[in-house]
Structure 1
Amino acid sequence: MLRFMPVGDSMTIGSAGDHTWRYRLWQHLCRSYGGPFTLVGPREALYDKAADAPTSYAYADPDFPRAHLAGWGEGWLHMAPLIGEAVRAGRADVLLVSLGLIDLGFYTDAEQTAQNVRSFVAGARAGNARIRMVVLPVIPNIRAASEPAFAAEVARFNELLAKTVADLDEPRSPLLLASPPPSYDLRTDTYDGTHPGASGEHKIAAAFADAMHQAWDLGEPYAL
């Protein structure tokens, strides 16, 4: 049984009524991965905007393994201390990580955020020395589109992230950088300039699926 753990911020946890990219990837792997697999993690809920808390289970389609380690307003800073125990408890084999926007927006600059990536990777490997990780850079968002200084910080972090992934990659515990969705459009792929709608969910899922197929021959290319 291959165990995938989605790790992320508001774009990964999703909010009430969403399918989430986690669901889209699960559907894809059901079609294209030949062996048994599941999603694992210490959380299952969606974010409830009315309650301002992760208390909703109102998935657009709840019939999938909903486990994850994602939180509205959480970033590398928040997940680094949690990942080791989450990996151990969930017996995770593959981490699918989408983090960074929250860090850069509210907590840390590009250099500090890259250091937190290193702490996260060390924690994950403490939980499973053979853990595999796929990391998505910070993807287009409305703040970067409207604030040149923030866009520069995002670009700087994504550059540092690529270097960090290359530096920390090792055969026993491979670390893979996914490519941002090439056609991601804030007008059509998000509902507010940041959070993915249905097409955005598919494109984020595709970024992870295509990276794993190309690098590890896991599953098939994602059909958008």
Structure 2
Amino acid sequence: MHRTPHSSPHLRVMSVLGLLAALLLPLGMTFAPGALAAPTADPVRVMPLGDSITGSPGCWRAVLWNRLVDSGYKDIDFVGTLPPQGCGQAHDGDNEGHGGELVTNVADQNLLPGRLASTRPDIVVMHFGTNDVWSSIAPDRILAAYTKLVAQMRASNPDMRILVAQLIPMNPSSCAGCAQRVVDFNARIPGWARATGTDRSPVTVVDQWTGFSTAADTYDGVHPNASGDAKIAARWFPALSAVLDAGVPQDPGDPGDPGGDPAACTARFRAVSSWQGGYQGEVTVTNTSASAVSGWTATVVPANGARLDQLWNGSLTTAANGTATVRNAAWNGTLAPGASATFGFVATAPATAGNPAATVTCTGTTPAA
């Protein structure tokens, strides 16, 4: 990761090569065009992970993104299975902030591995647990969920850099005990991080609590307003920029890497329409490999208790826990490199489910040699 205002390893290499060229050119030696070009790296992928404070609309992400770009960090990519949700300013809005989610449920239901597989982050920026604290879940159980998620992050990327927030204050009118429960939980996070971090995959605690006012910085005692967004972004920025400046090892298993095991496809979910008790969704499967695939299988994990009932342009199998497996139809399984196929579905959902959301992944089948 390079930042324009600071010297990077690539720039230092260029300086050495430039000096070498200056010494050799008088001797009649020349370099082919592009011979001194700096090596390029994939953008560093940053996953914002959490609940509605992160995702809906989670405008601190927009503030943070633009501050990073304005500070010279160009090779960054915010990633997640959820799309941008407004905020009124241009930014990379992909995120993994699912409204209403409990971190304990994400751990118990193993929801994170599929999301990691779809987005392959190098860094996770996590503010997660507000709904668990609100639900009076014990700190020990929340921290156990944190530990499980960290293990899943490292299974996805052994070099994962993890930034974990001490939660912003919470004082909703319906929860008299929430304010103190946040204080009690936050006090446990630094010790958990010291025990969980490793040299290869460090865990950095970011204090989002100090200086944050539920009266001035939220609109309902929980969710940040514009002032709160600015404060959250200001706390994430130095911690994230320090990780970027230190350099992030790129995942050796990225698609397209020589000798890697490239993913055959990616899948992306879109909500077409919604109504009380259900919604229509659409998933686009894209062949991201260099070869044609002869078939594909997508996995759809609907959020918040939804369940797929009807499906077209594929065949549907639904597990007892609601996880749906969709296989291509006879006419849309063969995809050339870069080609896509789309299937649609209707899902039923509890009245309290909130905005439609789903985690989607896929695998492809290459033709027999």
Question: Same fold by TM-score, threshold 0.5 exceeded?
Answer: yes
Of 221, 225, 235, the match for 1:193: 221
Whole-Å separation in 2 of the counterparts to 1:20 and 1:159 = 26
Whole-Å separation in 2 of the counterparts to 1:99 and 1:24 = 19
Of 73, 77, 81, the match for 1:38: 77
Instruction: Work out the percentage of aligned pairs sharing the same amino acid.
Output: 28
Q: 1:30 to 1:69 in 2, by over 3 A?
A: same
The alpha-carbon deviation at position 89 of structure 1 amounts to 1.9
Residue 115 (structure 2) pairs with residue 86 (structure 1): yes
Greater strand proportion = 2
Of 191, 195, 217, the match for 1:167: 195
Partner SS state of residue 135, structure 2: helix
CA contact (8 A) 1:110 1:154 kept: no
1:66 maps to what in 2? 93
Greater helix proportion = 1
The alpha-carbon deviation at position 31 of structure 1 amounts to 1.1
Whole-Å separation in 1 of the counterparts to 2:199 and 2:170 = 33
Q: 1:62 to 1:79 in 2, by over 3 A?
A: farther
TM-score by length of 2: 0.51
Counterpart amino acid of 1:28? R
CA contact (8 A) 1:88 1:128 kept: no
Whole-Å separation in 1 of the counterparts to 2:245 and 2:195 = 22
Residue 61 (structure 2) pairs with residue 22 (structure 1): yes
CA RMSD of aligned residues (A): 2.4
CA contact (8 A) 2:206 2:236 kept: yes
1:11 maps to what in 2? 53
Moved more, 90-99 or 152-161: 152-161
Give CA-to-partner distance per residue, 1:134-170, whole Å, 9 cap, x none. 01112111149973x4344322321222211111111
List runs of 5+ in structure 1 lacking aligned partners.
47-58, 220-224
The size of the alignment, in residue pairs, is 203
Whole-Å separation in 2 of the counterparts to 1:23 and 1:4 = 13
Of 126, 129, 139, the match for 1:97: 126
CA contact (8 A) 1:76 1:116 kept: yes
Counterpart amino acid of 1:20? C
Partner SS state of residue 207, structure 2: coil
TM-score by length of 1: 0.81
Q: 1:146 to 1:90 in 2, by over 3 A?
A: closer
Partner SS state of residue 178, structure 1: strand
CA contact (8 A) 1:6 1:41 kept: yes
Whole-Å separation in 1 of the counterparts to 2:91 and 2:223 = 21
The alpha-carbon deviation at position 196 of structure 1 amounts to 0.6
Which structure has more relative contact order (CA 8 Å, sep 6+)? It is 1
The alpha-carbon deviation at position 191 of structure 1 amounts to 1.0
Counterpart amino acid of 1:139? I
1:209 maps to what in 2? 237
Whole-Å separation in 2 of the counterparts to 1:144 and 1:138 = 18
Of 110, 113, 121, the match for 2:139: 110
Counterpart amino acid of 1:2? V
